[in-house]
Amino acid sequence: MTAAGGSGHDPAVTDRSGPLNGIKIVELAGIGPAPFTCMMLADAGAQVLRLERAAPGAVERGEEARASGAAPHWDLLNRSRTSVGIDLKNPDAVELVLSLVEQADGLIEGFRPGVAERLGVGPETCLARNRRLVYGRMTGWGQDGPLASMAGHDIDYIAIGGALWSFGRADSAPVPPLNLVGDFGGGGMLLAFGMVAALFEAARSGEGQVIDAAMVDGAASLMTMIHAFRLGGLWNEQRGANMLDTAAPYYEVYETSDGQWMAVGGIESQFYAALVEGLGLAGDPSLPLQQSRDDWPAMKERFAAIFKNKTRDEWTEVFDGTDACVVPVLSPWEAHLHPHNVARSTFIEVEGAVQPAPSPRFSRTPSVVSKAPSLPGADTVSGLVEWGVDEDVVSKLRESGALS
């Protein structure tokens, strides 16, 4: 496990570290935001046990793959934790979950409202077994409200939360920003914050609680600054007509001569001056004032024509080391090669898979990727034994069908 493209601090090691070392979390496996939460907690040192439905033979295939040195499972969101194959429709499996809850600090589930209760592992039941438990719930719409039981995806949650409308140019429809705002920013990351906050409080009070993390709530929260700008008269309600949403010539993406792109963010006056100098326009009397909004469209056309005169690499060299806030737009597949990312080990390579390193960074208790992602159920025996479940009990659970 090495840093991708360079040396320096290597946040990918085989032993568990991080500020959450000693915290135990039960993960009832889902997709997207909840696994991202668990990845963050596990990278930060928490001992997370992922319980998931595994297809017949998955355990054996996983053990064979590890023995042969085969590449790890591709789902990077499942890194740094063990996978136990379980059938939650089996009463013995439900009792196993509750016994694990008794020694856990937290539990995370991403089912629709009411599903965990029907399975017998809802918050009331779990907190009755462990009153210090922090029970994290990840949904799109939240645990209540008229949309709570309706299906949805990131695009739906950020649409209702008021975020999607803001992405796009004045003459185009809103553009989905991948699934970063709802699933991961407003969902998984805020649930991770909620878990850590509640774990901190539980350590003082001795009482657990339930966290209702809804992606629609999180997406709305991420828009707080834009609401503040509007209240302060700094934001036009028309899309694509503001400083940060493609209207300003100094906060834009420009195409280069080789069909690549440069990102420009020279907002402050001193940074704008460096931008203008790099473009060869310093002292040009025909250049309007930076904040002359009526002139922004013409200024953007002029900047765009200039950027088309050089390649991305040539413009990168022009602005390197300046405060113009101009950098190349890198694809996800080349970002790990940028000198800054190499120097900081922003990306790491774990068993042949290049991926983002844990973030944020801790000076004394660094986060690490403790293991590559497992195939579903590949760690059923070892994972449960590590949590203190007797091997004979594991064998009986497998015989009863509780472990898939």
Burial class (CB in 10 A: 0-12, 13-18, 19+), 144: exposed
Show the tokens assigned to 349: 């390579």
Q: How many CB atoms lie within 10 A of CB 396?
A: 13
188-201 burial, b at 16+ Cβ within 10 Å, e below that, comes to: bbbbbebbbebbee
183 labelled catalytic? yes
Catalytic, out of 105, 156, 183, 379: 183
d(CA 40, CA 44): 6
DSSP 200-266: HHHHHHS--EEEEEEHHHHHHHHTHHHHHHHHTT---SSTT-STTTT-STTEEEEE-TTS-EEEEE-
Show the tokens assigned to 291: 């904040």
In the numeric block, the tokens 């601090």 are attached to 9
Catalytic, out of 10, 87, 153, 295: 153
In the numeric block, the tokens 């934790």 are attached to 81
Kind of pairing, strands 106-109 and 134-139?
parallel
73 labelled catalytic? no
DSSP at 279 = T
Which helix or strand (DSSP H or E) is residue 106 part of? Answer: strand 106-109
d(CA 348, CA 345): 6
Closest among 243, 217, 239, 240 to 229, alpha carbons compared: 243
Kind of pairing, strands 347-350 and 47-52?
unpaired
Active site residues: 153, 183
